[in-house]
C-alpha cells in the first residue's frame, strides 16, 4: 500500500485524473491510497460473492450489485472502490453513469495484509459516518467474515462467522431470502 501524504486534500477532480494503471486508487479524507491488484484467492472470493448476490437480486429484483472497480463518491474528498457493493432497488437513484453518488446499502471489503488497517479502521469509520447500513469484512487468511450492521447511527459489535462453525451461513436483513454458506464463499 502506498500513501501520498500532503497538507492539501485531494478532491474528486484530481482523483479522476489518476493513471489507469491497474491499481486501486482511493481518496479517504483527501488522502490518496494506492493498492496493487489483488491476489487470486481474493478474486475468487469476490466472484463468488458477486455471483451469489447478483443471482439473488436478479431473481427477486431487490437491488443492484457492483464489483470493483466501481467508484463510490461519498464527498469530494472521499471516493472509494469497495470490492463488492449493493444498492437497494428503492435507492437506485444513487447509481449514475460515472459512479455511485452516496452510501450504498451494503459494502464488502476483502482484506489483504496491505489493506487490513485501512479496511478495518479507516473505511469502517468512513462507512459508519456516511450511514452504510451493512459492512462486511471478508478475511481470506482466516476464512472469516465480520458483519457490521448500523444501529442508531453506529456499527454494533460485529457478528463474526468462520469456516470452523458448523453451518456458517451469511444472511442479511437487506435482502429478503438471501443466504450464502461460508463453504461456498471460500470454495
| pLDDT at position 38 over 80 | yes
Residue 88 lies in a domain: yes
Residue 6 lies in a domain: no
Model confidence over 133-186: pLDDT tens digits? 999 999 999 999 999 999 999 999 999 999 988 789 999 999 999 999 999 999
CATH number at residue 109: 3.90.1570.10
**What is the DSSP secondary-structure string of the chain?**
-EEE--SSPP-HHHHTTS--SSSEEEEETTEEEEEPPPPHHHHHHHHHHHHHHHHHHHHH--EEEEESS--EEEETTEEE--SEEEEEGGGGGGB-SS-EES--SEEEEE--TTTHHIIIIIIHHHHHHTT-SEEEEEETTTTEEEEEEEETTEEPSPEEEETTSTT-EEE-TTSTT-EEEHHHHT-
Q: Which domain holds residue 177?
A: 38-185
Total domain count for the chain?
Answer: 1
Residue 106 lies in a domain: yes
Residue 159 lies in a domain: yes
Q: What is the pTM of this model?
A: 0.92
Amino acid at each position: 500500500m502506498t500513501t501520498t501524504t500532503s497538507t492539501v486534500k485531494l478532491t474528486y477532480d484530481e482523483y479522476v485524473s489518476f493513471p489507469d494503471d491497474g491499481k486501486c486508487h482511493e481518496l479517504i479524507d483527501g488522502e490518496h491510497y494506492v493498492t496493487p491488484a489483488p491476489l487470486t484467492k481474493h478474486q475468487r472470493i469476490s466472484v463468488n460473492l458477486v455471483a451469489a448476490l447478483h443471482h439473488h437480486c436478479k431473481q427477486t429484483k431487490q437491488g443492484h450489485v457492483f464489483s470493483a472497480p466501481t467508484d463510490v463518491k461519498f464527498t469530494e474528498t472521499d471516493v472509494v472502490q469497495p470490492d463488492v457493493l449493493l444498492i437497494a432497488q428503492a435507492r437506485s437513484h444513487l447509481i449514475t453513469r460515472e459512479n455511485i453518488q452516496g452510501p450504498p446499502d451494503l459494502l464488502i471489503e476483502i482484506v489483504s495484509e496491505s489493506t487490513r488497517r485501512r479496511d478495518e479502521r479507516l473505511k469502517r469509520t468512513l462507512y459508519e459516518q456516511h450511514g452504510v447500513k451493512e459492512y462486511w469484512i471478508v478475511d481470506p487468511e482466516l476464512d472469516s467474515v465480520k458483519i457490521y450492521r448500523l444501529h442508531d447511527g453506529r456499527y454494533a459489535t460485529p457478528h463474526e462467522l468462520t469456516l470452523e462453525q458448523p453451518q456458517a451461513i451469511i444472511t442479511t436483513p437487506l435482502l429478503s431470502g438471501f443466504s450464502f454458506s461460508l463453504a461456498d464463499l471460500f470454495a
